[in-house]
Structure 1
């Protein structure tokens, strides 16, 4: 389906990466508000892959519904999903999350990952920016967090079926901060790697910082992929990530290390660990939260070089001029912590060509 200019009113820019832009848009007739992801140039991004994955995951609670997809008039792939409220990255900056809230989020995401893995699909880019909360207020209640659909897992642009072995090794895939140790080693990836990334996310929410996180916000260098991977190996051999959590969290950490890439995790065991930590049979004590601030503030920090949030002033510029501004911003930043499938194919072809000579 072609995207008609008159069908949606573009309200603002939500973000961009090296190969796509995400826009907030309102349907002209229904007035419903959506998120539209459009690739920068025809065929260069992950939008087509994400459409295919979302079609396979249709009907799973915790996965956004694919509203519409197709091409723009200039043959760029696009997709439309419901506009979600806040990411864990946004909430982590504006609110103090209780241990129970973090564990409830973990349990909810694990239940979603279980259904994704049952389809033979790996997410491969689990991080706070890709876990969304439907409403800011639900974070105050463990019971609300556990309601299916209130926590959503988004951005399946890097996702792959487990059977696509050639795409799941020999390259780094994911975010440098939250990628698994296997990804840093460019070894075979599997179900366990999504769980390891989630472990890092939960530890990050609890501690506000990971041991390999740099003290100052700056662009990662290519050498950091190997260096941070070594640090992750060293840290994982300790209980450092599990501090400030009940003992079962360390059991979760150790269990991940017993799995092989192709082995389906025992989700009943994992869920039981999180239920024990949550102590669902006892009333949850909710901390006093500061007044919620808008999740999409006027200016956002650059996070892991994965994307940037644009100034709202950009959305007030005419369409052609806005496109130029967005294009200039894209050129100003590079994303090395994330790979598209086409990037991976190019790297593998280049490697083979080099080996022949």
Structure 2
């Protein structure tokens, strides 16, 4: 059995992907000893730099780790292996670096779209993703959000950068729980835990408390993004107020032009009350019609 200090993880990974090879946790999740076990296999390491006094509870990664522990393993949430910290000193600068170790993940949907933007669109359809792919991704995410909501959490930041493929490219996983909140009562989140304005719901962008409908509306925007390669308000670097104005004024039929089942999905989601539980099975059925 071979052990390494957690700081050495970063020496093993490729700087551009933040992936590490061959590390799994040696101790229970409650332990903070920065040692991990070298095994056959690979993991994903997420890091966060802190400064000043050591305060793991103020780390966004600590918040995420506690949520992963409660949610995984499940169909749409990756397994979490370890969370810890390491003190660093570089010249006159010093501070803390926090680590979150997850199962090895594939590329994000954002990355997949960027790759396809550089290639000719799919023949005859003009799509970035096929309707079958969009339907499958949508149905998997509805199922995952249903599971998370039943655990009394709101993800709060559903966007293409937070949806990843597993290594088989068949299973979609939801990550990035830094902005996740309890349904009730609402906790105070660590500083910097903010969701994407581009994909956030109208109500959340207005400052309303997060609810289930916000996750479902954000998912709808993600699926439109997969169909067209961008959302209408992503052009020209629009300001937050302009984005909110366009979200509120654009007709669903125009936003989802050519995607009638998705149009029905968005109309159903937008009609939800803040405390209403979505009909997940019916929403999944609507998205399934994209492939028919």
| From 256, 270, 274, the counterpart of 1:257 | 270
Alignment check: 8 A CA contact 1:206 1:244 kept? no
Could you list the runs of 5+ residues in structure 2 that have no partner in the other structure? 24-37, 89-95, 117-127
Alignment check: 8 A CA contact 1:3 1:71 kept? no
- CA change 1:172–1:72 in 2 (3 A) is closer
Q: Measure how far apart 1:234 and its partner are.
A: 0.6
User: Larger strand proportion, structure 1 or 2?
Assistant: 2
CA distance in 2 between partners of 1:166 and 1:172 (Å): 12
| From 90, 108, 123, the counterpart of 2:140 | 108
Q: Measure how far apart 1:8 and its partner are.
A: 7.1
| From 21, 24, 44, the counterpart of 1:26 | 21
What count of residue pairs does the alignment treat as equivalent?
250
Q: RMSD of the alignment, in Å? A: 2.5
SS at match of 2:80: coil
1:134 matched to which residue of 2? Answer: 166
Alignment partner of 1:152 is 2:169: no
1:12-69 CA distance string (max 9 Å, x none): 2246xxxxxxx32123632422221222115454101101110110221110100111
Q: TM-score, normalised by structure 2?
A: 0.77
Alignment check: 8 A CA contact 1:64 1:154 kept? yes
1:81-132 CA distance string (max 9 Å, x none): 0221211111112234211111111111111111011101111111111111
Q: Measure how far apart 1:135 and its partner are.
A: 4.2
Alignment partner of 1:10 is 2:23: no
SS at match of 1:49: helix
CA distance in 1 between partners of 2:230 and 2:8 (Å): 44
| From 212, 221, 232, the counterpart of 1:200 | 221
Q: TM-score, normalised by structure 1?
A: 0.64
Alignment check: 8 A CA contact 2:131 2:290 kept? no
Could you list the runs of 5+ residues in structure 1 that have no partner in the other structure? 16-22, 139-144, 280-357
CA distance in 2 between partners of 1:127 and 1:121 (Å): 17
Q: 1 or 2 for the larger relative contact order (CA 8 Å, sep ≥6)? A: 1
Alignment check: 8 A CA contact 2:152 2:183 kept? yes
Alignment check: 8 A CA contact 1:252 1:270 kept? yes
SS at match of 2:76: coil
- How do residues 210-225 of structure 1 correspond to structure 2 at under 5 angstroms? 210-215=231-236, 224-225=239-240
CA distance in 1 between partners of 2:267 and 2:177 (Å): 27
SS at match of 1:72: strand
